[in-house]
Amino acid sequence: MTQRTFDSYEHFWPYYVAMHSKAATRWLHLAGTLSGLTVSAYGLLSGRRRYLLGLPVIGYGTAWPAHFLIEKNNPATFGHPGWSLRGDAQMIRMMLAGRDDELAEIAAKWLAENAG
């Protein structure tokens, strides 16, 4: 899929979710982000600064392979880093709230409307 441009986060959001159309990708993002946050929080609380790298290393280290191996696409972060970070946070909040089915619907709708 080619790189797309967006004029607002609201237009970007359905695309971001569509790039995570498979539940396994979303759950790997959740696991990587929460694990990375945990390691980073430990680093912050313990004064072990090297552990602050936990979030980017573990978070992206789990998320990016999911795109290549499961979704067969490139991470949206490559073209839209700020909005992707915001999208990841929104996606994870929705998942933690039990709204993963809603994410699957958003993804399916965007993909159906933008096939080709």
The pLDDT tens digits for 35-73 are 999 999 999 999 999 999 998 999 999 999 999 999 999
Give the integer Cα–Cα distance in Å for 105 and 116: 19
What pTM was estimated for this model as a whole? 0.89
* Residue 72 backbone zone (phi > 0: left; psi -120 to 50: alpha; other: beta): left
Contact call for residues 110 and 76 (beta carbons, < 8 A): no
**What confidence category does residue 5 fall into, taking pLDDT thresholds of 50, 70 and 90?**
confident
User: Looking at residue 4, what is its pLDDT?
Assistant: 80
**pLDDT-above-90 percentage for the chain:** 84
Per-residue pLDDT at 79 exceeds 80: yes
Query: How many angstroms from the chain centroid is the CA of residue 85?
Result: 7
Give the integer Cα–Cα distance in Å for 98 and 1: 29
User: Looking at residue 3, what is its pLDDT?
Assistant: 63
